[in-house]
Amino acid sequence: MKLTRTAATFAPPVMEASRWLQGVSFTVDRPLINVSQAAPVDPPPLALRQAMAEFALRDNSAHLYGPVLGNDDLRAELASQISVHYASDISKNQVAITSGCNQAFSAVISAISNQGDEVILPTPWYFNHKMWLDMAGVGAVTLATGDSLLPNPDKARELITEKTRAIVLVTPNNPGGVEYPADLVMDFFELARSAGIHLLVDETYRDFDSRSVPPHDLFQQPSWDNTLVHLYSFSKAYRLTGHRVGAVASAPALLSEIEKFLDTIAICPSQIGQFAALWGMQNLSRWVSEERNEILDRRALILQQMPRLSAKEWRLLGLGAYFAYLEHPFDLSSDILAKRLVVEAGVLLLPGTMFMPVDDPDGKRQLRIAFANLDKEGISRLFDRFEALSF
């Protein structure tokens, strides 16, 4: 019997890892350190919550359908902020709002590919990208990144066939944390343009990029929207994970195709979520900047703590945005190690095997730490527990 579409892929990794907690008790003096999920655990700032509540009470449109591609005011504001952030000139007709960035990716893949087509996906991959490709019947052609976690455009060129429809980049990277250099991203853009395929650039974590300059020049390229498909999420910057608001920027013709998918799946993004994203963009720039600084401080603390683990033959492969990506020194596959860490160290994290093909040995040595929800004391405690490990 043929596999169903959902049976063609693996179980959701974060949900799978959460099941490892069943039956495990944690003490007051050694509580669980949960670094498994890259999502804020705190609610939006009070001012935003108050504005959302007032909108829900006073405006009937908060509870109604809206435009499939998102509200004009949010599309216009995002286009304006993209233009400023990337020193470019983007119109609202090149922007659509989606019910989260995962939906944006799914909609784009549905609009540009057929079953049996291929998409080049660097490894370690963002697992939801791989899951959707599996369910869509689109082949994920893996592009190994090695110890640098940076994909090589020359190696990607060798993987392009007549079935290839896109190359996917995530920067700052999930799970690796690395920030792709601007010239590397441009090399991939030129490769995709010359091959007549799309370049999908997922910048969900762009608000926590350590660089003070535009991370790339793609939006400045002539007819950029014929090649580039830019994905973004409001979830991390404004703590709106539960409200599911994402975005895609590309050619209006592609957005018209995406509209068919969105209308079938969700009809329109949440009105309250869209209001919150717009209000946040217009009122919380200083707050977001402070959040970014806090994340960068935590990143710096991880660098300060790493010599403790390096002395025990751990390696830091990537660090940035919400993530630290480590190679462990133990003679255990990371999926086995991750389960044991719950019981023996009180730590929940995701193994590299969740971001790699099953036959890739690198995943068995790697671990992802989503550190954004740890304060400085929490990071120190995490390193204390890692330093004490012996297997």
- Report d(CA 203, CA 189) in Å as an integer: 15
SS3 of residue 102 by DSSP: helix
Q: How far is CA 246 from CA 61, 78, 135, 155, in A?
A: 20, 11, 21, 31
Task: Write the DSSP symbol of residue 391.
Answer: -
d(CA 104, CA 263): 13
Q: Is there a contact between 247 and 104 (Cβ–Cβ < 8 Å)?
A: yes
Is pLDDT above 90 for 15? yes
pLDDT tens for 43-83 read: 999 999 999 999 999 999 999 999 999 999 999 999 999 99
94, pLDDT greater than 80? yes
Tokens of 386: 């890692």
Determine contact, residues 165/111, Cβ cutoff 8 Å. no
Question: Measuring CA to CA, which residue among 101, 75, 111, 112 is closest to residue 90?
Answer: 75
pLDDT band at 2 (very low <50, low <70, confident <90, very high): confident
Give the model's pLDDT for residue 41.
84
Share of the chain above pLDDT 70, in %: 100
The 10s digit of each residue's pLDDT in 290-336 is 999 999 999 999 999 999 999 999 999 999 999 999 999 999 999 99
Q: What is the mean pLDDT of residues 136-150?
A: 97
184 burial class (0-12, 13-18, 19+ CB within 10 angstroms)? middle
Say yes or no to pLDDT of 14 above 80: yes
Give the pLDDT of residue 3.
Answer: 80
Supply the pTM of this predicted model: 0.95
Per DSSP, the three-state class of 5 is: coil
For residue 1, what pLDDT is reported? 67
| Rounded CA separation 11/182 (Å) | 34
Write the pLDDT tens digit of every residue in 248-289. 999 999 999 999 999 999 999 999 999 999 999 999 999 999
Sheet with 366-370, strands from edge to edge, namely 315-320, 323-327, 366-370, 350-351
CA distance 336 to 220: 46
Q: What is the pLDDT of residue 45?
A: 95
- List the domains of the chain with CATH numbers: 6-43+287-387 (3.90.1150.10), 61-283 (3.40.640.10)
* pLDDT tens digits, one per residue of 97-127: 999 999 999 999 999 999 999 999 999 999 9
CA separation for the pair 27, 33 (Å, rounded): 12
Mean pLDDT of 197-204: 98
Q: Which run of H or E residues covers position 238?
A: helix 235-238
- Per-position DSSP letters for 121-135, written without gaps between them: EEESPPHHHHHHHHH
Q: For residue 343, what pLDDT band results from cuts at 50, 70 and 90?
A: very high
* DSSP 8-state class, residue 140: E
- Strand positions, DSSP E, the chain: 33-34, 95-98, 118-123, 139-144, 164-170, 198-202, 228-233, 246-249, 315-320, 323-327, 347-348, 350-351, 366-370
pLDDT (tens digit per residue) in 183-192: 999 999 999 9
For residue 40, what pLDDT band results from cuts at 50, 70 and 90? confident
From the list 63, 104, 92, 113, the residue with the least C-alpha distance to 262 is 104
Judged against a pLDDT cut of 90, whether residue 218 lies above it is answered with: yes
Joined tokens for residue 260: 């068919």
- In angstroms, the CA 107 to CA 89 distance is 24
CB 17 within 8 A of CB 351: no
Local structure of 167: helix, strand or coil:
strand
